[in-house]
Structure 1
């Protein structure tokens, strides 16, 4: 069910929610958190779809904030707030409230959502597109327990990763790290098997639009204390992480993505294995990050200390020694 509230106010939106609860049995009971999605106008539907899917695992209230403040080049923009409420089959296991503000009504994002937050429930803010320079100090970031960004969605993903490192605050997280979960788990599983000889060198290759490649390099160098070399190639035909090779005295371990969500694992004196290593979509990444609402301490160490030791990413081969 979808209810449109054109040219409205936050008070009227709140009253409409109460009316829906009284007349149709729509309740906020069982909602475990409030998810704020700060999206640009016209790009919000993909994020809403991901939130609807994730809500089946994490029932929540979703507040979508789309703002269009005054533009000096276009002149004054009418101050206006249009809202849309989605429940039932149009909202998964959540209730979605879309706030489209323009002009003066868009000048204070925090005031738009304060009256609609679930009482005594954690708040998570997600920027699926362009993110503020310092998420923790942004209006929608200051009220959030966790703040989710996506460096790969920025115009320059590698520069965005460095910016996140410089402005990191506990509670920040980026999908570039979330997309590494399967890679990290597989590499850790391989190293947990004999022989247990130490890794002496790490070689990683990925596309230059993949901040996950840089983060994986920083994490492996931090965890293994080995010389780490990573190559960033133009992501024209193949995006993301391409391969990881771990050198040991007993031979090299190589994990490479071959396409179609399948990876090839080669190890000394063992047959080659094909493993499922699909690219994680928005729904998977969002659901993963909503499973924990405390700061990710390992991400904090990697994005600040480990990334600083690795050095900034470039389209060239970069070697960083411990």
Structure 2
């Protein structure tokens, strides 16, 4: 590992090249560049997840930590090739002051040549991805609405802000659920007339499961709120012939029940973030099924018809904060302008 404190982008590029030569790395062996935008307290989580993902997709990992945007501009960096992060080439960059608002000035020269770029936010997703240049330059963008204070509202915002190439780890977390539910119809073509999803009202996976069922089956599923489980608890389908298909979570297994058949237990583990990330990195094209499920959840149509390219929309959070302060200074006791 090489540590550089109060450095600049050119020194980071030189140090990465030197470390790669020392470790025998070659750029042609990289499948992609993964840009991770991370809160300081979650850097180790991001590194652990990226290590798992890099085992399946050797990548150049660029971790961007934006800190203290009001202080002096400074860049601290750690360069790791191999070692604790497995096959990944990693640069952890902590950016302070105004530099944090222009992270692309350091990140762009570090992108591996001739490979796709994926940006992953391991923090609360941006309200508009176009406000973050690191999302605009990416071929694929991975958010995680579970990191938001209101995950379901954040998922609806992802639909409003959607562009082909976007995805969310909420979608990845229902992969096994979707497999189990779809597998129930491998041996029958009975029409589904109704569905019920049982989950807490703040669970984004339930919202997206509901959207997926609606988009695939053309029905309006019900969402039964429960406090029995902190996450998606069960999915039940009612068929035209009166049969009922139900998948219920029990710890790390799923109880599969169907009218007229014996109950069966199937694996339904809670996967680490690294496995979820690795799954999303398997495809770098737009996920049309996700777009349809997301649109059905939010009541929007033709999300996959939106332009895939975004135009960067500059937003300075410091200026926005000062504008809010100024507005407050002119507000009277009742909250309106004096």
TM score, norm. by length of structure 2: 0.85
Please give the residue correspondences for 1:161-310 in structure 2 after superposition, counting only pairs within 5 Å.
161-194=155-188, 196-234=189-227, 238-248=229-239, 249-259=241-251, 261-308=252-299
Structure 1 partner of 2:147: 153
CA contact (8 A) 2:253 2:268 kept: yes
Contact 2:19 2:80 in 1 (8 A): no
Quote how far apart the aligned CAs of 1:269 are. 1.2
Where does structure 1 differ by over 6 angstroms across 4 or more consecutive aligned residues?
none
How far residue 306 of structure 1 moved from its aligned partner, in angstroms, is 4.7
2:91 corresponding residue in structure 1: 97
Unaligned runs of at least 5 residues, structure 1: 72-76, 311-322
Q: Give the C-alpha shift of residue 57 in structure 1.
A: 0.5
Structure 1 pair 191–307 and aligned structure 2 pair: CA distance change class (3 A) = farther
Q: Secondary structure of the equivalent of 1:193?
A: coil
Distance of aligned partners of 1:22 and 1:274 in 2 relative to their CA distance in 1, 3 Å threshold: closer
Counterpart of 2:114? 120
Report the 3-state secondary structure (helix = DSSP H, G, I; strand = E; otherwise coil) of the residue aligned with 2:256.
Answer: strand
Q: Measure, in 2, the Cα distance between the counterparts of 1:128 and 1:8.
A: 25
Change in Cα spacing, 1:22 to 1:225, as seen in structure 2 (3 Å) is closer
In structure 2, what is the equivalent of residue 74 of structure 1? Answer: none
Distance 1:200 1:22, change over 3 A: closer
Q: Helix, strand or coil for the counterpart of 2:274?
A: helix
Greater share of helix: 2
Q: Which runs of 5+ in 2 are unaligned?
A: 302-338
- Does the alignment pair 1:134 with 2:128? yes
CA distance in 2, matches of 1:258, 1:24: 46
Which residue is equivalent to 2:42?
A: 43
Instruction: State which drifts further: 150-159 or 101-110.
Output: 101-110
1:250-286 CA distance string (max 9 Å, x none): 3211110011x11111111111111111123201110
Give the Cα separation in 2 of the matches to 1:167 and 1:36.
Answer: 20
Residue 151 of structure 1 contacts residue 157 of structure 1 at CA under 8 Å; is this kept in 2? yes
1:148 partner SS: strand
Q: Are the aligned partners of 1:209 and 1:239 in contact in 2 as well (CA < 8 Å)?
A: no
What is the distance in 1 between the residues matched to 2:40 and 2:294?
30
Cα deviation for residue 88 of structure 1 reads 2.0
Change in Cα spacing, 1:185 to 1:193, as seen in structure 2 (3 Å) is same
Change (3 A) 1:23 1:283: closer
Give the Cα separation in 2 of the matches to 1:119 and 1:30. Answer: 11
User: For the Cα contact (< 8 Å) 1:152–1:209, is it kept in 2?
Assistant: no
Q: Work out the CA distance in 2 between the residues paired with 1:142 and 1:108.
A: 13
Aligned equivalents of 1:233 and 1:176: distance in 2?
A: 19
Preserved contact between residue 200 and residue 227 of structure 1 (Cα < 8 Å): no
Q: 1:23 to 1:198 in 2, by over 3 A?
A: closer
**Deviation digits for residues 182-224 of structure 1, max 9, x if unmatched?**
1111111101223x32111101111233201011011112211
State the shift of 1:136 in Å.
4.2
Q: Please tell me whether the aligned partners of residues 136 and 172 of structure 1 are also in contact (alpha carbons under 8 angstroms).
A: no
Q: Give the SS at the match of 2:289.
A: helix
Please provide the CA RMSD for this pair: 1.6
